[in-house]
Amino acid sequence: MNSNYKVLAVFEYSTEAHVTKSRLDADGFKTMLMDEKTIDSDPLISNAIGGVKLLVHQNDFEKAAKIYTEIRTYQKDKNGNNLFCTNCNSNRILIAPLQRKNVFYMLFPFFEKTKHLCNDCKTVF
């Protein structure tokens, strides 16, 4: 990886990464994708190698992060309504990373309850 670039976001599939990359490229940011071709050749290994990484030049990283925060997709409930943070009432809610605190959840991660993360105040609920 070029040391002048930082990872802005990670996507499971390259098509998702291309949508965000196109928006940032249109705004004049220097971007590139890493591991795109590998995952395109075998999508099942996306989790194993950490997904497609969207890299942004380090000089533009802060501005690109603000744009990405505005355009990214946030979680909705099963009826399509926005979820709201229990702390700050923001609707910028993401799925929180799995904790996998014990061996059972490492072997069977699908049993772990889904938690949400507020993208504004970083509260997990």
**62-65: Cβ within 8 A, 24+ apart:** 63/29, 64/8, 64/24, 64/29, 64/31, 65/8
Radius of gyration of the chain (CA): 16
Mean pLDDT of 89-104: 83
Mean pLDDT of 100-124: 83
User: Residue 51's CB: how many other CB atoms inside 10 A?
Assistant: 21
26-62 tens-digit pLDDT: 999 999 999 999 999 998 888 788 899 999 999 999 9
Provide the greatest CA pair distance for the chain: 46
pLDDT at 97: 76
Rounded-to-integer distance, Cα 121 and Cα 123, Å: 6
pLDDT at 1: 57
